[in-house]
Chain A
Amino acid sequence: DGGITQSPKYLFRKEGQNVTLSCEQNLNHDAMYWYRQDPGQGLRLIYYSQIVNDFQKGDIAEGYSVSREKKESFPLTVTSAQKNPTAFYLCASSIKYNEQFFGPGTRLTVL
């Protein structure tokens, strides 16, 4: 069954901690993306990767980091430098520049 999985579904973080959100896809897509969704602001691009071992910053990359060691995986780390990390995080993948397919999301809450 092809698709995108994200884990965990809910994540709680204490201030000052780094946390890593998982994203895996078995669609054989080259491109993968991370978005942040906040009420009334739509989706804002954090990072994207069009090929293994390469990634670029999106509009709001500060306080986040990513890696792309495998085609199937694109984990996102929310670092302690991110001042307002409480949000809903969505991962997506696509054939390059085509429609994007989204995962179910991870809701991160900072305690």
Chain B
Amino acid sequence: AQSVSQHNHHVILSEAASLELGCNYSYGGTVNLFWYVQYPGQHLQLLLKYFSGDPLVKGIKGFEAEFIKSKFSFNLRKPSVQWSDTAEYFCAVNNAGNMLTFGGGTRLMVKP
């Protein structure tokens, strides 16, 4: 069974700091990769996704993620965080014919 690991459970940053959240998965075949975000009191929503093509994916609100197949990783980045980025972030993976598997989530707090 595939698994997804998010190594940072809690991250605290000051505004304007750079962000990188790690995501590693276990499945060796073709995968689709997603980052979701859950802002306080809001729906879980899609930040970005990778299916194929350019491994550097741009999402909403200035986020990007890089798929590194050799490292089984799909890390999320943002050059300069804002207080409004405070949220919980989830990495998710599916392979063809399988369901989404979610990581345990990373809670990000950005201090103003």
Contacts and interface: CB of A to CB of B under 8 A. Distances in A.
Contacts of A43: 44, 90, 92, 102
Q: Which interface residue of A35, A42, A97, A104 has the most chain B CB atoms within 10 A?
A: A42
A90 B103 CA distance: 15
B16 interface: no
B43 A104 contact: yes
A90 B44 contact: yes
Counting chain B residues whose Cβ lies within 8 A of the other chain, the interface size class is 20 to 34
A100 B100 contact: yes
B8 to A, nearest CB: 12
Interface in A18-75: 33, 35, 40-45, 48, 58
B49 A99 contact: yes
Nearest 3 Cβ contacts at the A-B interface: A102-B44, A42-B102, A43-B102
Interface of B: 4, 6, 9, 32, 34, 36, 42-46, 49, 90, 92, 94, 96-100, 102-105
Interface of A: 33, 35, 40-45, 48, 58, 90, 92, 97, 99-105
